[in-house]
Amino acid sequence: MISLKNNVARNTHIKCKEHTLVLGENTYIMGILNVTPDSFSDGGQYDEVNKALDHAHIMIKEGADILDIGGESTRPGAEEVDAKTELKRVLPVVEKLVQEVSVPISVDTYKAEVAKAVLEAGAHIINDVWGLQREPEIAKVVAQYKVPVVIMHNQKGTHYEKDIIESIKEFLSKSINIALEAGVKKENIILDPGVGFGKNFEQNKEVMSRLGELNTLGYPILLGTSRKSMIGKILDVEANERVEGTVATTVMGIVQGVDIVRVHDIKENLRAAKVTDAIIR
């Protein structure tokens, strides 16, 4: 049974420095720009500055509302990199993009040092795949620069002592408290259920079918399912053939109250989002 969106009061705007995202009117498309050599779907394709910039401009032309830059692969089994290596990858791209494009720039990092450097360079959003719990000091950096933060659910392993949605809610509630206590404003918090992180195939499907239950937390929801293994397993296709499957999850997410979808394939997901928005919003 799909859990549909509910009427819990939430923020109506997200301020990203000079940019404002108006919630409820349409779904925002966050384009994925991995400047890594080893990401699961596009590793090595955009790990040179010029290639990254060219792809960023293509995504914006196709309709991306936000760009999310990642300098460390988070695929299962990927090696962690230190802050120096991560900054070497992302900082030159951020510095160029903030001068060249007119959409908010998000940086996918859990490291406080990286967050501070990219925000100083002009980035607008921090996207933390460890929900501020890997390096809690990152919350103070976010608060200092008064920017939005995406708090994602994550864990090592796939064992859950209780109901998975309740477990995700508990994790996210802890992260929200870390953020608020550090001085992050409530209106700058975005939640991500972390599909594909700390969850097996069946768990990912359950989370997708019950996304609407997360609306009771009262924060905007970001969904990142693009080309992920759940889709690959259902369709029995490789990562670059998972566009239609991703589109299906985008539609499911919007119906259940998702505000932002993080995707590789902009045009296709934007078209699906526009049709879904026109029907349900």
pLDDT digits (tens, 9 = 90+) for 23-82: 999 999 999 999 987 544 544 566 688 999 999 999 999 999 999 999 998 776 778 899
Indicate whether 246 belongs to any domain.
no
pLDDT value of residue 64:
98
Q: Which of 228, 242, 271, 274 is catalytic?
A: 228
The answer to whether position 67 is within a domain reads yes
pLDDT tens sequence across 218-236? 999 999 999 999 999 999 9
Q: Residue 132 falls within a domain, yes or no?
A: no
pLDDT value for 47: 60
Mean pLDDT computed over 262-275: 98
The total number of structural domains in the chain stands at 1
Angle, CA of 120, 41 and 197, to the nearest 5°: 75
Using only C-alpha atoms, what is the Rg of the chain?
A: 17
Which pair of tokens denotes residue 8? Answer: 């819990």
Mean pLDDT of 227-253: 97
Q: What is the 3-state secondary structure (H, E, C) of 170-237?
A: HHHHHHHHHHHHHCCCHHHEEEECCCCCCCCHHHHHHHHHCHHHHHHHCCCEEECCCCCHHHHHHHCC
Two tokens, residue 211:
């996304």
Q: Which of 96, 262, 267, 281 is catalytic?
A: 262
Is a pLDDT exceeding 60 seen at residue 3? yes
Identify whether 101 is part of a domain. Answer: yes
Mean residue pLDDT of the chain comes to 93
Does 173 reside within a domain? Answer: no
247 in any annotated domain: no
Does 262 participate in catalysis according to the annotation?
yes
φ, ψ of residue 214 in degrees (nearest 5): -75, -15
Whether 131 contacts 152, CB under 8 Å: yes
Q: Residue 100 above 70 pLDDT? A: yes
The reply to whether 206 falls in a domain is: no
* pLDDT at residue 73, rounded to an integer: 84
Domain of residue 100, CATH code? 3.20.20.20
Q: Does residue 238 fall inside a structural domain?
A: no
Is residue 133 scored above 50 in pLDDT?
yes
Decide: 124 and 165 in contact? Cβ < 8 Å: no
Are the CB atoms for 220 and 23 separated by under 8 Å?
A: yes
CA 212 centroid distance within chain: 17
Whether 228 is a known active-site residue: answer yes
Name the residue range of residue 118's domain: 29-123
- pLDDT for the residue 38: 54
Is this model's pTM higher than 0.75 or not?
yes
